[in-house]
């Protein structure tokens, strides 16, 4: 608990000490990917379902938020809600197919991957709306109501830093609340032993679907934010690489924890950029960080720290 | 029309056999040693570029294939010794190490050969004519080699002492060790064989198509799909899974928009998995 408080406190206080735009940018990317990683961990680390569907939701909501904002004049925040609803619909359709037929582990991963790929191909070839592989330029900015100056657009690194940090905190808080409730217990029961959970009266199908829908709905906000922050959307958002990246963040930070994915996201977005290298060598460094961290700490950074702390206490 | 369809079936079967050889490696390593080697596509890429580099230096193609396979196997041996053996029976960590290796190998290839695709000279030009259908000779050779390798692997594992030892190891490593199976050596052998096979797949690939550093990533996903379609642990299933995927992609893109080529294989994969959740040849 103190660890969590320390982490969030540091993150909220950081811009007071750090003025470098470069560092703040890294943190902004960390927070957006952190939203994806935390929600991925809800489905993977806490419910035990290796989903590959996250990029689809991420990309679709990035496109949808932008297109709704442009074509129907909705403000950013109003446009994220239909996107989240779309994410829920997609998740329920895909999830109910997978869970109805009791697909597990790799089989579940491959079927969700297949659906994500089909959605990616659909987005890529729907030229009239998505502009195909060329992508779309996002010119708008999210706005907030600020006391004293009315509705102001979010501009500059510090404003973006706090916006994404708040979004990440809300996501982590919501995930934490879900996990603390009866739902979290059912998720854990399913993760530990699905057949046993079923015999004990847990509606396995319903809770898997619930976890999948909540995770994807929250992940959709990351898509909207990412598109608006980078100012550019292309079908690469929906690629398989995104799945791998998010999976790497969660495993590196520690699956089955809420802070782990955020730490993993920080390490994997931050470290390769903190060291100044050309692109190819940076990819080598990324791979090396991944391999050595997981070999030294097989349970991830936060998982290993927790185990170390509980051993010291006892 | 027949020419077109038959041509696409052959093309699909060859591409599918390539998926199959990767699928075989994935199934073998996972089924026997419990290690997930998701980086097999990279060993294929190594094999392909090694063949290309050796052939450019004047070695004839059939001679260049052998060292290329050995180079891929050596890379596999090193990655096993350094990384993979620590991820035994830990699926997700194996996946993570693989993601790391993919990143490393891909960027190494990009440093050595840049991202521009390279192409080998024709190895075996000409085509065999059956009626009014032309079948390129090299494609037939490649297909025959891959099928022969997969069948030989199947027979080798089904009929020999080594195969029985491997199955025993897959079922219970400690019991196998007590029965006199040298388990670390067996694990190394499986890793060498699967990465060497991937290297062979790459060497054959190099004779037909142009190479780029990112090719491994595509093929390992397809190989994974093929392995799962056939059923994890089934050797012949990996060949059939690959060929089915390849042919559906090839034939599908004649009658339906080509842009969605990858989707046809995936749609069939999903449909099959829904009715046979453990794959076509897998045990329930």
Consecutive sets of 10 residues in chain B, 284 residues long: mean pLDDT of each? Answer: 78 87 88 85 92 87 89 92 82 85 89 83 74 77 88 87 83 82 85 91 88 86 88 83 89 81 84 82 67
Q: For chain A, positions 194-223, list CB contacts with chain B under 8 A.
A: none
Q: What angle do CA A298, B165, B87 make, to 5 degrees?
A: 5
How close B137 comes to chain A (CA, Å)?
33
Instruction: Please tell me if residue A166 touches chain B, with a CB cutoff of 8 Å.
Output: no
Residue B6 exposure: Cα atoms within 13 Å on the Cβ side: 11
Q: Which of B96, B217, B267 sits opposite A294 (nearest CB)?
A: B96
Q: Could you tell me where the beta strands, DSSP code E, fall in A72-222? A: 136-137, 143-146, 150-153
Q: Assign 3-class secondary structure to chain B.
A: CHHHHHHHHHHHHHHHHHHHHHHHHHHHHHHHHCCCCCCHHHHHHHHHHHHHHHHHCCCCHHHHHHHHHHHHHHHHHHHHHHCHHHHCCCHHHHHHHHHHHHHHHHHHHHHHHCCCCECCCCCCCCEEEECCEEEEHHHHHHHHHHHHHHHHHHHHHHHCHHHHHHHHHHHCHHHHHHCCCCHHHHHHHHHHHHHHHHHHHHHHHHHHCCECCCHHHHHHHHHHHHHHHHCCCCHHHHHHHHHHHHHHHHHHHHHCCHHHHHHHHHHHHHHHHHHCCCCCCCCC
Residues 101-130 of B with CB under 8 A from A: 101-104, 106-108, 110-111
- Whether chain B has a CB inside 8 Å of the CB on A105: the answer is yes
Q: Which domains are seen in chain B, by residue range?
A: 2-275 (1.10.3470)
Q: Does A114 touch chain B (CB under 8 A)?
A: yes
**Is the minimum CB–CB distance between A102 and chain B shorter than 8 Å?**
yes
User: Are A286 and B260 inside 8 Å of each other by CB?
Assistant: no
User: How far apart (Å, rounded) are the C-alpha atoms in residues A244 and B100?
Assistant: 10
Whether A298 sits inside 8 A of B110 (CB atoms) is no
Cα B267 to Cα A46, B48, B249, distances in angstroms: 29, 30, 10
Are the beta carbons of B107 and A284 separated by less than 8 Å? Answer: yes
Q: Touching check for B135 and chain A: CB below 8 Å?
A: no
Residues in chain B: 284
Residue B34: Cβ within 10 Å count? 17
Residue ranges of the domains in chain A?
Answer: 20-239
Q: What is the pLDDT of residue A70?
A: 86
Q: What is the pLDDT of residue B228?
A: 87
Flag whether residue A277 sits within 8 Å of chain B, measured between CB atoms. Answer: no
pLDDT tens digit sequence for A215-257? 999 999 999 899 989 888 888 888 888 888 898 899 888 888 8
- Statement: residue A155 has pLDDT above 70: yes
- Angle subtended by helix axes A21-44 and A259-274, to nearest 10: 140
Q: pLDDT at residue A290 above 60?
A: yes
Partners of A233 in the β-ladder: A136
Contacts with A, B 85-104, CB within 8 Å: 86-87, 90-93, 95-97, 99-104
pLDDT at A207: 92
Which has more confidence, B280 or A265? A265
Q: Do B225 and A114 touch (CB under 8 A)?
A: yes
pLDDT digits (tens, 9 = 90+) for A84-137: 999 999 999 999 988 888 887 788 888 898 899 889 988 888 888 888 788 888
How high is the pLDDT of residue A174? 93
Per CB-CB distance under 8 Å, the chain A contacts of B281 are none
Mean pLDDT value across residues A185-200: 90
In this prediction the ipTM stands at 0.82
């Amino acid at each position: 608990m103190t660890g969590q408080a320390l982490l969030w406190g540091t993150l909220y206080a950081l811009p007071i000490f750090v003025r470098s735009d470069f560092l703040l940018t890294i943190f902004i990317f960390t927070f957006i990917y952190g939203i994806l990683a935390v929600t991925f961990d809800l489905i993977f680390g806490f419910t035990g379902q290796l989903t590959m569907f996250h990029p689809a939701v991420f990309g679709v909501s990035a496109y949808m938020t932008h297109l709704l904002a442009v074509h129907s004049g909705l403000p950013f925040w109003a446009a994220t809600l239909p996107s989240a609803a779309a994410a829920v619909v997609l998740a329920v359709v895909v999830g109910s197919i997978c869970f109805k037929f009791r697909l597990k582990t790799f089989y579940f991963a491959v079927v969700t991957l297949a659906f994500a790929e089909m959605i990616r191909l659909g987005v890529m070839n729907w030229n009239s709306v998505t502009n195909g592989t060329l992508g779309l330029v996002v010119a708008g900015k999210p706005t907030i109501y600020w006391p004293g100056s009315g509705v102001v657009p979010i501009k500059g690194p510090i404003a973006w830093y706090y916006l994404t940090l708040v979004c990440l905190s809300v996501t982590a808080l919501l995930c934490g609340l879900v996990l603390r409730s009866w739902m979290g217990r059912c998720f854990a029961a399913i993760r530990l032993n699905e057949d046993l959970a079923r015999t004990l009266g847990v509606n396995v199908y319903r809770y898997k679907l619930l976890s999948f829908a909540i995770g994807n709905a929250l992940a959709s906000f990351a898509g909207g934010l990412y598109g608006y922050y980078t100012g550019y959307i292309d079908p690469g958002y929906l690629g398989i690489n995104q799945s791998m990246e998010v999976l790497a963040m969660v495993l590196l930070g520690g699956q089955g924890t809420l802070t782990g994915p955020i730490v993993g996201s920080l390490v994997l977005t931050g470290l390769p950029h903190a060291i100044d290298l050309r692109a190819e060598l940076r990819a080598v460094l990324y791979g090396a960080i991944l391999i050595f961290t997981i070999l030294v700490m097989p349970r991830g950074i936060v998982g290993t720290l927790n185990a170390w702390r509980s051993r010291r206490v006892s | 029309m027949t020419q077109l369809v038959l041509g696409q079936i052959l093309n699909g079967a060859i591409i599918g056999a390539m998926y199959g050889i990767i699928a075989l490696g994935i199934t073998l390593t996972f089924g026997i040693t419990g290690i997930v080697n998701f980086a097999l596509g990279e060993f294929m890429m190594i094999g392909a570029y090694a063949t290309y580099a050796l052939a450019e230096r004047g070695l004839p193609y059939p001679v260049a294939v052998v060292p290329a396979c050995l180079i891929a196997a050596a890379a596999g041996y090193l990655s096993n010794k350094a990384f993979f053996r620590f991820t035994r029976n830990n699926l997700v960590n194996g996946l993570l190490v693989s993601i790391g290796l993919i990143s490393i190998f891909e960027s190494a290839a990009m440093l050595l050969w840049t991202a521009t695709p390279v192409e080998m000279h024709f190895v075996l030009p000409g085509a065999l004519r059956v009626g009014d259908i032309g079948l390129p000779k090299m494609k037939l050779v490649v297909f025959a080699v891959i099928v022969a390798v997969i069948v030989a692997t199947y027979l080798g594992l089904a009929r020999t002492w080594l195969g029985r030892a491997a199955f025993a190891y897959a079922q219970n490593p400690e019991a196998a060790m007590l029965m006199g199976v040298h388990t670390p050596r067996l694990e190394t052998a499986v890793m060498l064989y699967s990465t060497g096979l991937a290297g062979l797949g790459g060497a054959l690939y190099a004779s037909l198509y142009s190479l780029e550093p990112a090719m491994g990533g595509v093929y390992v996903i397809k190989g994974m799909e093929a392995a799962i379609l056939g059923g994890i642990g089934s050797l012949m299933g990996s060949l059939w899974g690959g060929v089915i995927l390849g042919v559906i992609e090839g034939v599908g893109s004649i009658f339906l928009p080509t842009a969605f080529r990858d989707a046809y294989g995936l749609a069939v994969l999903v449909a099959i998995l829904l009715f046979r959740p453990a794959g076509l040849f897998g045990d329930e």
